[in-house]
Structure 1
Amino acid sequence: MNRLVLWNIDLTLVDVSIVTREAYAEAFRDVTGRPLVKLTQANGRPDSEIVFEMLAINGIVAGDDHLPRFLDALAGSFGARRRRLAKDGRMMPGARDALKAVARLDGVVQSVLTGTIKSNAVHKLTAFSLDRHIDFEIGGYGEEVYPKATLLQVAQGRAKRKYGATFDGRNTVLIGDSARDVQAARIAGAAIIGVASGRSLPAELHEAGADVVLPDLSNPSEVVAAVAGLTSPARRAGHFPAGR
């Protein structure tokens, strides 16, 4: 294996925001005994960070046990709704074909770098049959209290231990829809493909430093060409394309 491709999930591969909001509301009520009144925006942040903000804006002083209890409750409430994901959510345009096309590249392993906790990440992709090309063992997830850039490096380390190959900035690509994804990749030294299918406009993704910006994943050939170019032998040898 000589290519590591890490995918963001929400608004890059799927949109299951309706089910996610319901699961958060139920988890909040289970943990605090109160109804959830104020929502917070995800904006590319991990579940662990969202939980703390959600508690704060709803007047709950978080204790040491709030985060693990909330994440356990969130896993349960989301899992109970997993059969609704395909009905009430949607797969982003081209997601399945893009994953399948990237999987055909020589030496590639695909996983996820997501703010979603692991169990819910598996449910989200399995609901749309997007899981078959993903190695969930080596991903980075929302229950891990790391900045996303650090989590990217954690995923690289997991991939190295499993596959016995070195994954670094020369052969790792993150594919995500938010400026936060771009910033995380830049900090971690990885390549980044920005997909303007979420809340960040193409100009914002460019400004944040994306190597390539695509309108969506509907053209799998463009996705493959971008991944291949950003993990080419020339790049691995340290000869980066102009503009890098």
Structure 2
Amino acid sequence: MDPQEAAINRLVLWNIDLTLVDVAIVTRDAYAEAFRAVTGRPLVKLVPPLGRPDSEIVFETLAVNGVQAEDEHLPKFLSALALAFADRRGRLAKEGRMMPGAKDALKSVSRLDGVVQTVLTGTIKGNAVHKLKAFGLDKFVDFELGGYGEEVYPRATLLQVAQGRARQRLGTPFTAANTVLIGDSTRDVQAARIGGAAMIGVASGRSTAGELTEAGADLVLPDLSNASEVVAAVAALTSPVDRKAG
């Protein structure tokens, strides 16, 4: 094991959309192309993401557009979505935006002792990489440890999957004591509460500060623009554990 990995004992999971970046225009366009590729019909209505995984959005999008979902629809749609999104990756930085302070926050948290950062997102893995790479955020994230939208698990279970991947790689038990999720929606808060992680709510997206607090976020920030505040929040909510514990 790499000596640097041996010292890692804090796991920081980031939601992507409306926490780190906003690329909704490109995402909608990619969904429309994928829908046409799979069904041969134009997309009339795309259901709102609401923090849900791509796998769930696909099924509901098929339903609201009058398509009876069959077993092969999901893998075909996700494959088509990956291709459509990759074709549009050059538009991400032009038509999307990085959320205020996102890069400095990721960079600053990466300097905190014992931290590894990854993502917990409803986006499929390939598209998650494109979203962060477009804004130069990918270098701060270990994508192999994350949880993604093609994995058909409840979000809370996906959090535990990510913890398991991190433990398998790093040898450290990751629990609510040393794992923190950073996200913008009450669904993120629920995932943290059920899955076993501390929660930093960021009131930059789907949910207000009051909603995040009421849902049970441990700390709520207005956005990521104060990097030292983000680092302090992560440090306060993660307590490095003994590698021999658990």
Counterpart of 1:76 in structure 2 is 83
Aligned to 1:137: 144
Q: What is the match of residue 22 of structure 1?
A: 29
What SS does the corresponding residue of 2:139 show, helix, strand or coil?
Answer: coil
Identity rate, percent: 77
**1:165-217, Cα deviation, whole Å (9 max, x unpaired):** 11111100000000000000000121000000002011100010000000000
Query: Could you tell me which amino acid in structure 2 is paired with residue 3 of structure 1?
Result: R
Query: In the TM superposition, what are the counterparts of 1:26-175 in structure 2 within 5 Å?
Result: 26-175=33-182
Unmatched runs of 5 consecutive residues or more in structure 1: 238-244
* Aligned with residue 222 of structure 1, among 229, 236, 245: 229
CA distance in 2, matches of 1:122, 1:189: 25
2:10·2:239 contact (CA, 8 Å) conserved in 1?
no
* Alignment-derived partner of residue 213 in structure 1: 220
Query: How does the TM-score come out when normalised to structure 1?
Result: 0.95
CA RMSD of aligned residues (A): 0.9
- CA deviation profile, 1:149-175 (whole Å, cap 9, x unmatched): 000000000001111111111100000
Q: Is residue 163 of structure 2 the alignment partner of residue 179 of structure 1?
A: no
**Aligned partners of 2:210 and 2:130: how far apart in 1?**
32
Unpaired runs of 5+ residues, structure 2, are: 1-7
Runs in 1 of length 4+ with deviation above 3 angstroms? Answer: none
Structure 1 distance, partners of 2:160, 2:100, is 28
Q: Which residue of 2 aligns with 1:190?
A: 197
* Local SS of the residue matching 2:149: coil
What letter matches 1:182 in structure 2? V
Distance 1:3 1:47 in 2: 28
Taking the aligned partners of 1:5 and 1:97, their CA distance within structure 2 comes to 15
